[in-house]
Structure 1
């Protein structure tokens, strides 16, 4: 998908409201090192260094909906235990617009605990409630859904097989949603999808589809036959989508099967990619986008997620980074101050080191390129602050800039070493630096570190100042004077 198309679709889904109903899991990670074998049995001993907790199951879907620019509220069931308290806190902290966590006495909160040595997962302990929710809890779930439907653009059933989404509960939720005119998307589990019939869209992966219809799904022809077989059982469900990993996605709509091919990706971790795909699909359904466009966006989102480790979320900026550039399609990298601050915050959350440099960059020359490459070499992402036209005139005099800010920004944004560009109106970039809070400030050797605007702020946050070597013989001012004198450049 090209960036311009992705940008339009992302704009369409922004702010759409999803009501997620399903099994929220607590994903717990125990990290450490293995240095010896136990004397009691031939097993490694993990010396624990830290523990982390995050949302899994339907909770990871919620995180993805929010990270893609949508709004999410959630209804789930947990036990009266510390794990349930942790889930409730994580749901609140992740930015949900409503969280109803129904506590069932005597029930355990579904939990997965993974033990990791270095970057290698050793084993996983799965704690399953082991039974369907009680009749009283089911009534509480339906009551919560009834109260939340009017604030939703789409309803998502996220079934992780932990006993919350029983046949009766699914049927009642789908009935209520259809009466309210809200489309329902389903991430299915189990071996009988008829309990979801009446939903707008059901999305199994290839393995789940094969298990449901007891048919192979290796080739396009086999997938087409499997989708047709499943559709014959689901007379009230208009659309079926199957995710096929590196082969992309296939879907049946109005009796016809279509295939969307995935771009080749460097895959690091497929954990949670299905949730990322469902989040994009559901927001596209909420925005009433054509299903083919929605699937293309979902594939782009899932393909971006598998390039990250863990059950990762993806942001609109990361999707645009992953999209195919079109002719002249660079302006998306030019951000406002507020957009840049949000983008840098997301990079920081991913553990990336953010650098910043600035200048007028009136006529790009090899000296600029060398300076920008050096700046990019000391960080993971580089933001360039660009003086506005009025600012350049105040600093350089009448007749400058030669090129307007929009042209200068587009040229910078097209460079491989530059990740984002922000135009600032002030004579110095200090206010911009304080707004985006980078980790590294980079300037050329014609400046002294202590004289740089924003240097004190960077140091106060534990950041660093880097002085880049200058490439002799290059100067925009000298180029302008040569042009005025009619000399060869």
Structure 2
């Protein structure tokens, strides 16, 4: 997408494999499961490590350059082939073969992992230094195999937006805008000094300690299904996950870091980037994690669709046999009733598109003095919600034309419409969609909020 800031990813690439099968018995000679490989999905190969973060950013529709170790070994050649359609690889010389990680899964659960290949990035190249110096936005994915260390002097001179650390890697360079350790990693980097080893208090202590020790602008500790905890040194912000999923979490950290880096590159505030990253990582796990990604070796016929473009998003979800949910309104003064409705709507499907009235449409419906918040502000507030995947604007009094373009599977209205005629219901039947009402919090409305504010001002 032309208006997305290009991203340079620096780090250690891996080649990941999944061998998938079923297990219903133990081996007769040892107490280990016997995994019968399923022929039609016996092996899937995909980018791993920093290559996965770069690949995910590229699939988001962003121009991506990956600076990572790659050699002449078979694993390196396989990785190059996977990445070539999606991004530009600037290779660093390796001391050995590219690391490979093979998971054996039974009933979609890992039962064994095999690691081989101990290659490390030997040194920086002039091409890598030039690419890094000219980068507008940088994500470091440091798996401790030499890439970040080889370029540390350049990174220190221009600190990256995001540094995703791992136990084998070194500390981020001072001045990094956001560091994203997982909870266990954060505790390992910041000893607890006798404090309890888990929970939000421990995560907050670790994050504050790392902000100080690493001299980072902010640290976000990822908490799995609980979301993420963002700290600038004190009074942390907890960003909860929009839903809890217990699927394959492989790659969720790379999804989080890639999303956060992309949002920061495009001008989002750190808090906004964390909210977006939590939502993206949650959806990633819900969809099956890295093991459920489309095959990396399927070459794109066109640039990846914009996830902020509601029409492209709806088309992509439909193509993947997902459920498109849409909800509409003015959302002039966003309140608890709106948020509860949108969160419930998102749980009905695989994406939520919010259809919002333009300023002119609001004025025709609500009269002079409305909207209180202009369209640009209303869109920004809605997009900041983790449950909202995209926002679409309609200028008419009702959204029928927009719905005809989006063709959602589910159209959601608040329970305050109960008993009223829903003109959109008949329209949705044309393509097999369904209009539904969701419970609405009593007493919450923009009009009531404005009336109370006016009364208090007198």
Match of residue 208 from structure 1:
185
- Classify 1:151/1:34 alpha carbon distance in 2 versus 1 (closer, same or farther; 3 Å): same
Q: CA deviation at 1:85?
A: 0.5
Which stretch shows the higher mean deviation, 183-192 or 83-92?
A: 183-192
2:44 paired with 1:52: yes
Q: TM-score, normalised by structure 1?
A: 0.59
- 1:81-480 matches, within 5 Å, as 81-93=73-85, 95-96=86-87, 98-104=88-94, 107-129=96-118, 132-133=120-121, 137-140=122-125, 143-149=126-132, 151-166=134-149, 169-178=150-159, 183-190=160-167, 194=171, 196-215=173-192, 216=196, 218-235=198-215, 237-253=216-232, 256-311=235-290, 335=311, 339=312, 344=315, 348=319, 350=320, 352=321, 407-410=399-402, 417-418=409-410
Which residue of 69, 75, 81 maps to 1:77? 69
- Asked if the contact 1:301/1:319 (under 8 Å) is kept, the reply is no
Q: CA deviation at 1:190?
A: 2.1
Separation in 1, partners of 2:182, 2:24: 39
Separation in 1, partners of 2:169, 2:51: 24
The alignment covers a number of residue pairs equal to 335
- Asked if the contact 1:24/1:56 (under 8 Å) is kept, the reply is yes
- Classify 1:171/1:416 alpha carbon distance in 2 versus 1 (closer, same or farther; 3 Å): closer
Match of residue 297 from structure 2:
none
Query: Aligned-residue CA RMSD in angstroms?
Result: 4.0
Structure 1: 5+ residue stretches without partners: 1-10, 321-331, 356-379, 383-403, 420-442, 445-465, 469-489
Aligned to 2:409, what secondary structure does the other structure show?
coil
Pick the structure with greater CA Rg.
1
Q: CA deviation at 1:128?
A: 4.3
Q: TM-score, normalised by structure 2?
A: 0.62
- Classify 1:189/1:19 alpha carbon distance in 2 versus 1 (closer, same or farther; 3 Å): same
Separation in 2, partners of 1:177, 1:293: 23
Q: CA deviation at 1:257?
A: 2.8
Separation in 2, partners of 1:257, 1:156: 23
- Classify 1:116/1:270 alpha carbon distance in 2 versus 1 (closer, same or farther; 3 Å): closer
Aligned to 1:268, what secondary structure does the other structure show?
coil
- Classify 1:223/1:33 alpha carbon distance in 2 versus 1 (closer, same or farther; 3 Å): closer
Q: CA deviation at 1:111?
A: 0.5
Q: CA deviation at 1:164?
A: 3.4
- Asked if the contact 1:193/1:212 (under 8 Å) is kept, the reply is no
- Asked if the contact 2:178/2:218 (under 8 Å) is kept, the reply is yes
Separation in 2, partners of 1:56, 1:260: 27
Separation in 2, partners of 1:207, 1:200: 21
Q: CA deviation at 1:68?
A: 2.7
